[in-house]
Structure 1
Amino acid sequence: MAAAASAGPDHLFNLRNYFYLGAYQAAINCSDSLHSLSPEESVEKDCLVFRSYIALGSYALVINEIDDAAATPLQAVKMLALYLSSPGNKETVISSLKEWLADPAIGNNLILKLIAGTIFMHEKDYIEALKHTNAGGTMELHALNIQIFLQMNRSDYAEKQLRIMQQVDEDHTLTQLANAWLDLAVGGSKVQEAYLIFQDFSEKYQMTGLILNGKAVCCMHMGNFDEAETLLLEALNKDTKDPETLANLVVCSLHVGKSASRYLSQLKLSHPDHQLVKRISSAEEDFDRAAQSVA
């Protein structure tokens, strides 16, 4: 979709950028001033607005506002809201999603592929995710491929995807973000390069939780835990329930010798399925078993 809009003026540039950088409310507000859009641009605009609401946790609003007559991309976005809104919906959503993807009339829709990749990545079914995203087609699909490859610890494949993105548009916000993700995954001297990308974002755009977390993770990798803590507390002021901010604060607090229990409690309450919560619960169970065997 993004490629189609590039022939003329790109009316959705600011809206997309807000969304990519995690400024979800700004994306929603910005959409109100967009007029005279083509039918395709209108659908893309609505998809970005509803995905912003999903990112803010307003699942019910998205589910209620997208009706059965809506275009395929919007139906796909509704599926994501249903999937995230309740664990009980997951099986039904995945079953419907597979039916849609197998339908030759709509199976190749790029937003449907993007949502499918996102849902299967959540499920940690990376092979199934890549089946739908690997061919690319939009910058978002390439960026999602990079996230999937990094989850699989395949930075070599992620690097190939990044090269493709750089050939399309080296300065694109998603290319820069993907570059930072890869630099962090590779580590070493690359972490400083990732930090500079997030620093550049923070100078150009409004500070978001995504940018603050990006800078904070770089700081932690470089051993600057005090600076990381300051950035993360600023991110927490913006969104007290953001899972990545809370998870990063748990890690950061442990390194600076402070209690992490409050952040961990908040994370357990608001995001019980978070990877860090599962890891800590598993470690606690192992410890309890070991303690009982010794007692």
Structure 2
Amino acid sequence: MAAPDLLFGLKNNFYLGSYQAAINNSDVPSLSPEDAIERDCLVYRSYIALGSYQLVINEIDSSAATPLQAVKLLALYLTSPNNKETTISSIHEWLADPAIGNNPILRLIAGIIFLHEQDYNEALKHTNVGGTMELHALNVQIFLKMHRSDYAEKQLRIMQQIDEDHTLTQLANAWLNLAVGGSKIQEAYLIFQDFSEKYQMTSLILNGKAVCCMHMGNFDEAESLLLEALNKDAKDPETLANLIICSLHLGKPSSRFLNQLKLSHPDHMLVKCASFAEESFDRAVQTIA
């Protein structure tokens, strides 16, 4: 019989987007040194998810274990566009080091960074062999970004064989169902509904339910869920992006949400698409003029 996972609650809070709860409930007694490092990684990644990059950079010093150094690299990468080149260079250097290159947290952070860079092939070089549930879940995300739901489904099957009831397995199943569409949307909705009944409601869960509602044409319900999510985090990029789409379908003004997204997340894909469309329109007007 497997020993109980002392970090189960902390991991669950992190996976479902309860980042402050993960931080507040991180004082877990009787942890092994390895589990203590994993705990600290989850806490610092929660701070990163909340946008507290500088706190992570300041608190993790050069003597910290490799997984924590990797988390610090993620904070450095996200804190400023000027850091991207040096951060990616460091990641490559560490991955090439035989002593630490196969560390699962380092490979996970590398995958997250290359996913941000939209360099999916490079991400998969380091994540594809798996080894942890988080790496398998990240593989599902990468394959869905590549529009390869067939490969994403293979990763999901591996996760289901390891632990069908794991939070990440359920999340990956919902992501895949949303990508496949059709009758699978209802299945995805039920997964997010189950989360909302079992756990604290988060922006992640609310957005999951809202996207399902939009796919099913229930835009009024989606708007209600998204406004609830906005109350929890007024700068959450996915909430703002989904509200823009939802407002357009409801025939309501979306410019305020777009302006908020531009201010808080200028690199968001929807902002870039809107800017490109505006520039193309302006060029067309000038041509006619």
2:139 is matched with 145
How many pairs are equivalent? 289
Pick one of 222, 245, 257 that aligns with 1:228.
Answer: 222
1:121 aligns with 2:115: yes
Pick one of 270, 274, 277 that aligns with 2:264.
Answer: 270
1:238 is matched with 232
Give, as a single letter, the amino acid of the residue that structure 2 aligns with 1:7.
Answer: A
Pick one of 161, 166, 172 that aligns with 2:160.
Answer: 166
Give, as a single letter, the amino acid of the residue that structure 2 aligns with 1:129.
Answer: A
1:87 aligns with 2:45: no
Q: Deviations over 1:83-142 (max 9, x none)?
A: 000000000000000000000000000000000000000000000000000000000000
Cα displacement (A) at 1:7:
3.5
In 1, the alpha carbon distance for the partners of 2:2 and 2:104 equals 18
Q: Which stretches of structure 1, 4 residues or more, deviate above 3 A after TM superposition?
A: none
Percent identity between matched residues is: 81
RMSD of aligned Cα (Å): 0.7
Pick one of 201, 205, 220 that aligns with 1:207.
Answer: 201
Give, as a single letter, the amino acid of the residue that structure 1 aligns with 2:9.
Answer: N
1:15 is matched with 10
In 2, the alpha carbon distance for the partners of 1:121 and 1:45 equals 24
Give, as a single letter, the amino acid of the residue that structure 1 aligns with 2:239.
Answer: T
Superposition TM-score, scaled by structure 2 size: 0.99
1:187 is matched with 181
In 2, the alpha carbon distance for the partners of 1:67 and 1:178 equals 34
Q: Deviations over 1:172-223 (max 9, x none)?
A: 0000000000000000110010000000000000100000000000000000
2:23 is matched with 28
1:261 aligns with 2:255: yes
In 2, the alpha carbon distance for the partners of 1:248 and 1:157 equals 26
Give, as a single letter, the amino acid of the residue that structure 2 aligns with 1:17.
Answer: N
Q: Deviations over 1:55-105 (max 9, x none)?
A: 000000000000000000000000000000000000000000000000000
Cα displacement (A) at 1:166:
0.3
